Amino acid sequence: MFNLVYDDKTTHAIGLRPAPARLFYDCLMKTIRRLSQSLILLGALGAGAVHASALPPAISAQLTANYPAVEALYLDLHRHPELAFHEVETAAKLAERARALGFEVTTGVGGTGVVAILHNGPGPTVMLRTEIDALPVQEKTGWSFASTATTKNAAGETIPVMHACGHDIHMSAWYGSAKLMADNRTQWSGTLMLVGQPAEETLQGAAAMLKDGLFTRFGKPDYALSIHDEATLPAGQVGFHAGYFRAAADTVTITIFGQGGHGAAPHDTRDPVVMAARVVMALQTLVSRENNPMDPVVITVGSIHGGTQANVIPDQVQLKLTVRTFKDAVRKRVLASIAREVKGEALAANMPKEPTVEVQAGGDAVFNDPALTLRMAATLRGAMGEQNVTEMPAKMTSEDFASYGQAGVKAVLLHIGAVPPAALEAAHQRGVPLPGPHSPQWAPQYQPTIKAFITAETAVLLDLLPPAKR
């Protein structure tokens, strides 16, 4: 096997080199990357000392003692999920518990959001955010405490509701971490800002809370942390990724206008179904032939609607797309290219009317502050063990946690495994992925996940909030 050889001065490929030399080159690049990360971490250490040690034994004992109440909350939340901006009972449960811990609690922020503040002397303000909404999914886990909740949608139809994304785990851990921090306030100084955010699943809740004055009414935090459960990591293992981590998501609705008619006489029509098929294929080239492969893009046509029966050519077809990107420049270019391709296909097909292309902007890309991410990773390695903290790849799924970083806060979104290690290994061996978030079969191994969740959140909070001066 041979590989390209690179000129050290120009970095241009100039010939072939045996594979072992290429392996040396790859190892050198990996070493340089790790050194860069170390330098970033040193910068983070200069901003504040990392407490690279396990949770104090007394706090670990408290976590164990508190866990039954935390699990009881989890089971209750799982049985009684609520959809975006309808999380009235859910918010009340969180608010009640935060008040009992001594937090100053405000409800109804951004609709149904909860903000709980604990002032504890001088120091930074650290925000811990949890999502509180569920999904319109019918649960099929087979659990004895499975959700049987239903609600009415905007059309008046009865639909099922389930915490299919694990927000019930997030909220339970949020409460568990809040209790540990409140009960050990002599160990830290600063302000802890707990945020229970609605409507994450619709990517609207963060923006709604910010618009309602989250950072003006309650103060802008110095740091923001959130953690999400994860189906590709074993239960209790924390995953981190510095830089772009979760993608921006936009919805595009395309309406193609044709000339309908009899299915036996297509020559007397302008068939929007055929054009829709051509559009679907043309859009794929925007990724494969117009985009730098180092800048991830996903274009998914998730819905095509047109026509009523087999022998009638309809006069219009509607397509709905989701477009996911990381970089703003790529995002703008891809959306513009979609409009260009659609209008070009209509021109080529001699359609009677130009199609419409409507873009509904979704959440921005989550960007994890690199220095803060590596600082948190170092803290977590000390608290949870080297083997339980791992760097993970970026994901093309979306999260409106991005809004807090866009507002100028140093923010980090971490992930935590929620799958039994043996089941995950078996799935890898079979080459068949396990059900994950948004699946009706999403059944996280909640006990070790919640405990690790609380450990991770508490360790990071105790690091970011300096020790109280005695």
Is 267:208 a contact under the CB 8 Å cutoff? Answer: no
What would the two tokens of residue 70 be? 């935390």
Across 63-78, b (16+ Cβ under 10 Å) vs e yields beebbeebbebbeebb
CA 325 – CA 346 distance, rounded (Å): 26
Q: How confident is the model at residue 24 (pLDDT cuts 50, 70, 90)?
A: low
Tell me whether residue 470 is in a domain: no
- Of 13, 28, 47, the residue at which a domain comes to its end is 47
Same domain, 123 and 220: yes
Bridge-based pairing of strands 190-197 and 125-131 is: parallel
Q: Is residue 438 scored above 50 in pLDDT? A: yes
**Is 341 among the catalytic positions?**
no
Phi, then psi, of 370 in degrees rounded to 5:
-60, -50
What would the two tokens of residue 223 be? 């740091």
Q: Which one-letter amino acid corresponds to residue 199?
A: A
CA 92 – CA 24 distance, rounded (Å): 58
CATH number at residue 312: 3.30.70.360
Q: Is residue 12 scored above 50 in pLDDT? A: no
pLDDT of residue 95: 98
Same domain, 65 and 121: yes
What is the percent of the chain where pLDDT is above 90? 87
* Beta bridge pairs of residue 358: 253
Tell me whether residue 19 is in a domain: yes
- H-helix or E-strand containing 25? helix 19-47
Expressed as residue numbers, the domain containing 147 is 57-242+365-464
pLDDT of residue 468: 78
pLDDT of residue 35: 55
Same domain, 353 and 369: no
Is 449:234 a contact under the CB 8 Å cutoff? Answer: no
Tell me whether residue 351 is in a domain: yes
What would the two tokens of residue 325 be? 């990107």
| Candidates 82, 87, 200, 271; catalytic one | 200
Which whole number is the average pLDDT over 352-367?
Answer: 96
Number of structural domains the chain divides into: 3
pLDDT of residue 37: 53
Same domain, 434 and 371: yes
Same domain, 313 and 170: no
pLDDT of residue 44: 45
Which whole number is the average pLDDT over 434-440?
Answer: 96
Same domain, 77 and 184: yes
Which whole number is the average pLDDT over 52-57?
Answer: 72
Task: Give per-residue pLDDT as tens, 203-261.
Answer: 999 999 999 999 999 999 999 999 999 999 999 999 999 999 999 999 999 999 999 99
Q: Is residue 148 scored above 90 in pLDDT? A: yes
Same domain, 91 and 201: yes
What is the percent of the chain where pLDDT is above 70? 89
- pTM, entire model: 0.86
**Which position has the higher pLDDT, 221 or 12?**
221
What would the two tokens of residue 323 be? 């477009």
pLDDT of residue 48: 42
Is 272:351 a contact under the CB 8 Å cutoff? Answer: yes
pLDDT of residue 469: 74
CA 135 – CA 81 distance, rounded (Å): 8
SS3 372: helix
**Is 358 among the catalytic positions?**
no
Task: Give per-residue pLDDT as tens, 365-374.
Answer: 999 999 999 9
**Which position has the higher pLDDT, 52 or 443?**
443
Q: What is the mean pLDDT of the chain?
A: 91
Q: Could you count the other beta carbons within 10 Å of the beta carbon of residue 268?
A: 11
- Of 309, 332, 361, the residue at which a domain comes to its end is 361
Task: Give per-residue pLDDT as tens, 174-211.
Answer: 999 999 999 999 999 999 999 999 999 999 999 999 99
Tell me whether residue 192 is in a domain: yes
Which whole number is the average pLDDT over 63-85?
Answer: 98
Same domain, 85 and 102: yes
What would the two tokens of residue 347 be? 């021109």
Q: How confident is the model at residue 28 (pLDDT cuts 50, 70, 90)?
A: low
Is 170:228 a contact under the CB 8 Å cutoff? Answer: yes
Which whole number is the average pLDDT over 307-322?
Answer: 97
| Candidates 82, 87, 131, 133; catalytic one | 133
Q: How confident is the model at residue 65 (pLDDT cuts 50, 70, 90)?
A: very high
CA 458 – CA 470 distance, rounded (Å): 21
Q: Is residue 119 scored above 90 in pLDDT? A: yes
Same domain, 79 and 205: yes
* Angle subtended at Cα 209 by Cα 128 and Cα 442, rounded to the nearest 5 degrees: 60
Same domain, 30 and 119: no
Same domain, 185 and 85: yes
Q: Is residue 1 scored above 60 in pLDDT? A: no
- Of 361, 384, 408, the residue at which a domain comes to its end is 361
Which whole number is the average pLDDT over 423-437?
Answer: 94
What would the two tokens of residue 40 be? 């970033």
Same domain, 138 and 224: yes
List Cβ neighbours of 29 (8 Å cut-off, separation of 6 or more).
none
* Beta bridge pairs of residue 129: 195
Tell me whether residue 52 is in a domain: no
CATH number at residue 187: 3.40.630.10
